[in-house]
């Protein structure tokens, strides 16, 4: 689907987003400065009816296609990437239900009904202190124990984006059965026994509030579980999540486009006394503007061409994700370097965009895992699917990848998996 823009801003699925993006952009500096939950931005997204755009048509939703979801994500990221990430986790959860229908019917209808009264935010709580990112394999240490009324959930989850404003935590846990099963337990945020450990002190994406969350014998209903399955088929399939991770990268396309806007505004407004006209007319800034456009515009093409035409081709999606991510990070670096001190000043927006863009390739699966998947595919013999995937494909995926899983893995994990030792490849 081609990009849609009207004179006053982007249009996605027939919805004009200019006013929403403007509201997010106006509120973003304060949310970033205080690292507070971005309530104003989330309310703007809710009032525009954007949080339920991936709900299935059978529930009265629109189930927008993947390309529209990516374009919506990029637009929100241009206004406030923290709001975009929190919103996307909810949109992913509804999309998962649209595709798999694994939620308990009564519970899901109740969630939708609550969404008509105010923002209902959902997010997967998957990462753990010992486990790290589920994208690297392993099973959760969080335990779901049988009770007379249902389940009791105990454990600690890391990097739970938007946790201070969530309505439901989708907690990935192992049961205490023999043999154990693994599933995603739907835990109301108002339930007793939940403690948020406010330890999110990230360089960027500050307003995501991706704190740790402790669950201490939190009671949930017997049927309030998604995708409960045998532990030996519950590993995360990174290839199956390729489309979702590319949509997530679109957040940072929005960040880079906002940085591009800030660069352009500076170049047009800056008139040195010894020059007498805007620096935008100098050959240096014209060349820099061209470099930034090449990188950002190229990344936009990579992302949307892939989501529009290669949804079922994991390697193409993963390749686009890494290439686009590298280009977006480099583009913002160029913009900051061109401005010098003004680019790094806390009084301007470019400094915030520079901090936010650093997270572009830190979301699971991280860059090194993607490279390993591509390498195995490149070296595999024709028809050797297992060698190409690296991790066994599983038909029983608990949920989409948790976008809040921003921490890089320990080096020992990479060595055990035979992955490259270098986490970041400079652009």
Res 235: pLDDT: 65
Res 139: pLDDT: 84
Structure tokens at 249: 């990268």
Percent of the chain with pLDDT over 90: 79
Helices (H), 310-404: 314-339, 341-344, 349-357, 367-379, 385-389
For residue 96, give the nearest of 63, 132, 136 by alpha carbon.
63
Structure tokens at 389: 């995937």
Res 274: pLDDT: 93
Work out the mean pLDDT of the chain and round it to a whole number. Answer: 88
For the cut 50, the answer to whether the pLDDT of residue 391 exceeds it is: no
Entry pTM: 0.89
Categorize the per-residue pLDDT at 238 as very low, low, confident or very high, splitting at 50, 70 and 90: confident
311-356 confidence digits (pLDDT tens): 999 999 999 999 999 999 999 999 999 999 999 998 789 999 999 9
47-58 confidence digits (pLDDT tens): 999 999 999 999
The CA dihedral of 130, 133, 138, 140, to the nearest 10 degrees, is 60
Q: What is the mean pLDDT of residues 294-311?
A: 97
Structure tokens at 354: 């520079």
For strands 194-197 and 211-221, give the pairing. Answer: antiparallel
Q: Where in 3-132 does DSSP place strands (E)?
A: 5-6, 9-12, 15-16, 122-125
CA distances 140 to 77, 136, 151, 320, Å, are 31, 12, 16, 30
For residues 65 and 391, which has the higher predicted lDDT (pLDDT)?
65
Categorize the per-residue pLDDT at 382 as very low, low, confident or very high, splitting at 50, 70 and 90: confident
Q: Classify burial at 265, counting beta carbons within 10 Å of its beta carbon; exposed 0-12, middle 13-18, buried 19 or more.
A: middle
167-217 confidence digits (pLDDT tens): 999 999 999 999 999 999 999 999 999 999 999 999 999 999 999 999 999
For the cut 70, the answer to whether the pLDDT of residue 96 exceeds it is: yes
Q: What is the mean pLDDT of residues 62-77?
A: 97
Categorize the per-residue pLDDT at 30 as very low, low, confident or very high, splitting at 50, 70 and 90: very high
For strands 5-6 and 9-12, give the pairing. Answer: antiparallel
User: What Rg value do the Cα atoms of the chain yield, rounded?
Assistant: 22
For residues 77 and 424, which has the higher predicted lDDT (pLDDT)?
77
For the cut 80, the answer to whether the pLDDT of residue 413 exceeds it is: no
- Which residue, chain included where needed, has tokens 């939620």? 103
> Quick check: 208 and 160 in contact, CB under 8 A?
no
For the cut 80, the answer to whether the pLDDT of residue 2 exceeds it is: no
Res 344: pLDDT: 92
For the cut 70, the answer to whether the pLDDT of residue 64 exceeds it is: yes
Calculate the CA 19 to chain-centre distance.
23
Q: What is the mean pLDDT of residues 297-305?
A: 98
Res 231: pLDDT: 82
134-151 confidence digits (pLDDT tens): 656 678 999 999 999 999
Percent of the chain with pLDDT over 70: 85
Q: What is the mean pLDDT of residues 22-51?
A: 97
CA distances 377 to 373, 374, 400, Å, are 6, 5, 22
Listed in sequence order, the residues at least 6 apart from 307 whose beta carbon sits closer than 8 Å to its beta carbon are: 66, 67, 70, 243, 246, 247, 317
- State the Cα–Cα distance between residues 164 and 178, nearest whole angstrom: 34
Structure tokens at 250: 């679109």
For the cut 60, the answer to whether the pLDDT of residue 393 exceeds it is: no
Q: What is the mean pLDDT of residues 88-106?
A: 97
Listed in sequence order, the residues at least 6 apart from 105 whose beta carbon sits closer than 8 Å to its beta carbon are: none
For the cut 90, the answer to whether the pLDDT of residue 97 exceeds it is: yes
């Amino acid at each position: 689907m081609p990009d849609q823009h009207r004179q006053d801003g982007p249009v996605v699925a027939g919805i004009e987003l200019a006013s929403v993006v403007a509201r997010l952009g106006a509120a973003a500096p304060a949310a970033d400065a205080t690292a507070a939950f971005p309530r104003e931005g989330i309310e703007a997204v809710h009032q525009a009816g954007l949080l339920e755009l991936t709900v299935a048509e059978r529930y009265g939703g629109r189930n927008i296609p993947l390309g529209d979801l990516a374009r919506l994500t990029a637009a929100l990221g241009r206004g406030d990437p923290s709001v975009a990430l929190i919103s996307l986790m909810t949109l992913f959860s509804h999309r998962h239900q649209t595709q798999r229908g694994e939620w308990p019917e009564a519970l899901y209808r109740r969630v939708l009904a609550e969404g008509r009264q105010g923002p209902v935010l959902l997010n997967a709580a998957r990462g753990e202190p010992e486990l790290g990112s589920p994208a690297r394999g392993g099973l959760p240490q969080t335990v779901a124990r049988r009770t007379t009324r249902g389940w009791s959930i105990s454990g600690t989850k890391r990097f739970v984006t938007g946790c201070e404003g969530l309505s439901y935590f989708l907690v990935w846990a192992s049961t205490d059965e023999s043999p154990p099963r693994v599933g995603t337990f739907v835990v109301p945020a108002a339930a007793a026994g939940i403690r948020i450990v406010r330890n999110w002190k990230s360089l960027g994406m500050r307003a995501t509030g991706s704190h740790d969350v402790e669950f201490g014998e939190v009671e949930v209903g017997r049927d309030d579980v998604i995708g409960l399955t045998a532990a030996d088929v519950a590993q995360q399939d990174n290839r199956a999540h390729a489309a979702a991770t590319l949509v997530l990268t679109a957040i940072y396309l929005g960040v880079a486009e906002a940085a591009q806007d800030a660069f352009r505004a500076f170049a047009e407004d800056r008139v040195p006394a010894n020059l007498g006209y805007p620096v935008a007319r100098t050959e240096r800034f014209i060349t820099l503007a061209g470099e930034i456009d090449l990188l950002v515009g190229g990344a936009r093409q990579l992302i949307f061409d892939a989501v529009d035409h290669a949804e079922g081709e994991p390697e193409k999606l993963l390749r686009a994700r890494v290439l686009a991510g590298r280009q977006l990070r480099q583009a913002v670096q160029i913009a900051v370097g061109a401005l010098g001190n003004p680019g790094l000043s806390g009084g301007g927006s470019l400094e915030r965009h520079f901090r936010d863009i650093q997270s572009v390739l830190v979301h699971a699966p991280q860059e090194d895992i993607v490279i390993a998947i591509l390498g195995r595919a490149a070296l595999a013999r024709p028809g050797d699917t297992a060698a190409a995937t690296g991790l066994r494909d599983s038909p029983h995926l608990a949920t989409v990848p948790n976008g809040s899983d921003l921490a890089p893995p320990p080096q020992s994990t990479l060595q055990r998996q035979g992955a490259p030792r270098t986490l970041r490849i400079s652009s």
